A and B are shown apart, each in its own frame.
Chain A
Amino acid sequence: NAGVTQTPKFRVLKTGQSMTLLCAQDMNHEYMYWYRQDPGMGLRLIHYSVGEGTTAKGEVPDGYNVSRLKKQNFLLGLESAAPSQTSVYFCASSYSGTSGGDTQYFGPGTRLTVL
């Protein structure tokens, strides 16, 4: 099992460009999450999904869109990148909801720089 994988690992964008980050999990988890990690800030939840075809906003959703067309994949999109979106992005998944105590397992992260 690969667990949670993220593509790409690194990316540099110019302001205004768009891109999509792909997260895939092979653990048959229902829930998937996108976080961003900024220096000295810990991780903050961007969007999450409680199942195929569903998405919901987290703490910092502005400037991002997500889609969950297949259970195993969770895509994070930036339509018009801004320097403030320079960050490390982590995807995570869990079998059931974290509010029920289930553990989230994280991917290796994507380092995004917006110039």
Chain B
Amino acid sequence: AQKVTQAQTEISVVEKEDVTLDCVYETRDTTYYLFWYKQPPSGELVFLIRRNSFDEQNEISGRYSWNFQKSTSSFNFTITASQVVDSAVYFCALSDVDSGGGADGLTFGKGTHLIIQP
């Protein structure tokens, strides 16, 4: 069965510091997809990025970057020069061809609560 582990329950940094959120996944499939979502204090879930298992290129979007390494089954998320508005819970999620014995949904990690202090 697939699994997503976000070992960091909570991270607190001072504004302008760089911070990396770890995500480690398990799957038996060779074709799978990884996602990151942001949940700000208002509660909604905001899609950040999707990556398929065949694309190992790192991605950068403004202050956000993602490092996908199949060799270590990791899909880490880095925020450069963090800002108070980045404070949120961040979820890593996995979808594979054989999700949960036929269930066609996402498997989520438990989330990392990121606190950016001014």
Contact = CB atoms under 8 A, between A and B. Distances in A.
B103 A59 contact: yes
Interface residues of A, number: 29
Contacts of B105: 33, 35, 45, 48, 58-59, 98, 104
B99 interface: yes
Contact of A98 (B47, B98, B99, B110): B99
Contacts, number: 74
B50 A103 contact: yes
B102 interface: yes
A75 interface: no
Between A33, A42, A103, the greatest number of chain B beta carbons within 10 A of the residue's beta carbon is seen for A42
A106 interface: yes
B97 interface: yes
Contacts of A35: 105
Given A101-B33, A101-B52, A101-B95, A42 B104 contact: no
Interface string A88-103: 1010100001110101
A99 B102 CA distance: 9
A45 B99 CA distance: 11
Q: Which 6 A-B pairs have the closest CB atoms?
A: A45-B105, A42-B108, A106-B45, A98-B95, A101-B33, A42-B110
